Structure 1
Amino acid sequence: MAAPDEGLRFDCGRICLDLLATCGKAGELLTGPEQLRHWLTGSGAVPPGTELDGVNGRWVARFRGLREVVRRVVHAELSGGEAVIDLDLLNATAAAAGPPAVEAVRGPDGALTPRLARPADRAALLATVARDAVDLLTDHAVRDRLRRCEGAHCRLLFLDTSRGRRRRWCSSGVCGNRARVARHRRRAADRGGGAAGGAGAAGPEGAPPSEARGAGEAEVTRGAGREPDAGLEPDARREPDARREPGATLEPEG
């Protein structure tokens, strides 16, 4: 059985983007309460060590619902469109509850550490993620750093905080390394094709053609990290949104 953190990513730069990364080309990662508990802690939505015994299937469904709302709003903004109904849902979720109350307590080593003042509340945690998405989309300086991974078949979103804003991939060790490997293979194929088409031609100073053309080729980075299990793939099969009343919540309580 896979570990609850298998494939979860916590390096997208925002809590709401980490939530988007829980579903993509590799499938659903929030498959049950255990996975959601790990995500809530790993993303920083709750302090480390928080008791999350109340998390159940209803929680999972609500966080998946919020994820799709955030996904549609962010994609609409990136493509220059509008997602009016989804934006209403996002705003309603953000305003539904206040942030979880956190208090400072002494840890075993005597240092102050954060702890939720009350048991984790689903509405408050949903509101935390929704407010993070609202803050991201309305802070233009931050919004301008929002990027799509350039890796083949990867649509993961991340904040580019690199110097010069030149980051291209969600992970240099995964998508970046794949791109370098593909580039290396294309160059090798081009060299092989050239040698076949010009057999017997000598390179500079009489060197064999393969040596002349192979000089200066860069090594491809080895030891790529493990395959990311989450991307950001728009759901092409999604039916047009049904009309919802403005201010409606993600799901009726009950």
Structure 2
Amino acid sequence: MALSAAPQRAPQEAPQEAPHKVAYGELRFDSGRSCLDLLATTHPVERLDDVDRLCAWLAGAGLVPPGTPLPDADQDWLAGFRELRCHIDRLVGGELAGRPADAALARVNALAAAAPPAPRAVRHADGSLTRALHGAPGRAALLAAVARDAVELLTDPVARSLLRRCEGDRCPIVYLDTSRGHRRRWCSSEVCGNRERVARHRRRAAALTRA
């Protein structure tokens, strides 16, 4: 008796690459700490490419209230934050890999020694309070705020234990995994996570084709 043909499986529809919520070159503030958000400005392109972008990053990271004038911001500020970013990258990477980066640590400590911007509360006509700063902050004060965040992160055993590097292909972003169960794998589920799901589906489809 002839065997009946096995029922054909309908091909699964491939996951579609979702529109990126993080646009190419857009600033990101989803790593969990301002010092890690600074590291994220290198990927996938240089995001701190001019002084205006640096000022936007400072506001987005919460280092200055939105609309705070930064009249002294210039190319030296840009160079300073890129330099700090490099030192924090070496320091965090060294901690994750178990390779102390003492030269970077010394530089971050030195920058953290300056006084950060002094906050003040401003009362509005409706009685509400908002955060402002005592005058326009200088370069050293803002660098100190980020450097201190790195120092506090890496000297806090609980926070340090939550450091993760994104599992996305060629993604260098480091973040704090505060997810339930601490099972977060990607810097962004919509970007790196979605790419991995698409790639996994394509590998399965290719394997079925070869079978």
Shared fold per TM-score greater than 0.5 = yes
Q: Which residue of 1 aligns with 2:39?
A: 20
Match of 2:122, SS state, is: strand
Looking at structure 2, the residues matched to 145 and 162 of structure 1 have their Cα atoms a distance apart, in angstroms, of: 10
Q: Deviations over 1:185-242 (max 9, x none)?
A: 1111112222xxxxxxxxxxxxxxxxxxxxxxxxxxxxxxxxxxxxxxxxxxxxxxxx
1:113 matched to 2:130? The reply is yes
Equivalent residue letter for 1:162: S
Q: Which residue of 2 aligns with 1:181?
A: 198
Looking at structure 1, the residues matched to 174 and 49 of structure 2 have their Cα atoms a distance apart, in angstroms, of: 21
Task: Give how far 1:59 is off.
Answer: 0.4
Looking at structure 2, the residues matched to 27 and 48 of structure 1 have their Cα atoms a distance apart, in angstroms, of: 25
- List structure 1 runs of 4+ shifted beyond 2 angstroms: 106-110
Q: Which residue of 1 aligns with 2:83?
A: 65
Match of 1:115, SS state, is: strand
Task: Give how far 1:118 is off.
Answer: 1.4
Match of 2:92, SS state, is: helix
Q: Summarize the alignment of residues 226-241 of structure 1 with structure 2, pairs less than 5 Å apart.
A: none
1:152 matched to 2:169? The reply is yes
Contact 2:112 2:148 in 1 (8 A): yes
Q: CA RMSD in A?
A: 1.4
Task: Give how far 1:28 is off.
Answer: 1.4
Task: Give how far 1:114 is off.
Answer: 0.4
CA 1:180 to 1:108, structure 2 compared with 1: closer, same or farther past 3 Å? Answer: farther
1:91 matched to 2:109? The reply is yes
Equivalent residue letter for 1:131: R
Match of 1:22, SS state, is: helix
Equivalent residue letter for 1:70: I
Q: Which residue of 2 aligns with 1:52?
A: 70
**Structure 2 residue runs without a partner (length 5+):** 1-23
Q: Which has the higher contact order (CA 8 A, sep 6+)?
A: 1
Looking at structure 1, the residues matched to 125 and 170 of structure 2 have their Cα atoms a distance apart, in angstroms, of: 46
Q: Which residue of 2 aligns with 1:209?
A: none
Looking at structure 1, the residues matched to 171 and 104 of structure 2 have their Cα atoms a distance apart, in angstroms, of: 24
Between Structure 1 and Structure 2, which shows a larger proportion of helix residues? Answer: 2
Match of 2:164, SS state, is: strand
Contact 2:25 2:45 in 1 (8 A): no
TM-score calculated relative to the size of structure 2: 0.85
1:139 matched to 2:156? The reply is yes
Q: Which residue of 1 aligns with 2:61?
A: 43
TM-score calculated relative to the size of structure 1: 0.71
CA 1:143 to 1:49, structure 2 compared with 1: closer, same or farther past 3 Å? Answer: same
Q: Which residue of 2 aligns with 1:167?
A: 184
| Number of residue pairs matched by the alignment | 188
Equivalent residue letter for 2:169: A
Equivalent residue letter for 1:9: R
Looking at structure 2, the residues matched to 105 and 45 of structure 1 have their Cα atoms a distance apart, in angstroms, of: 17
Task: Give how far 1:70 is off.
Answer: 0.6
Equivalent residue letter for 1:180: R
Task: Give how far 1:124 is off.
Answer: 0.8
1:100 matched to 2:117? The reply is yes
Q: Deviations over 1:25-44 (max 9, x none)?
A: x3311111100000000011
Q: Summarize the alignment of residues 29-40 of structure 1 with structure 2, pairs less than 5 Å apart.
A: 29-40=47-58
Task: Give how far 1:99 is off.
Answer: 2.0
Equivalent residue letter for 2:171: C
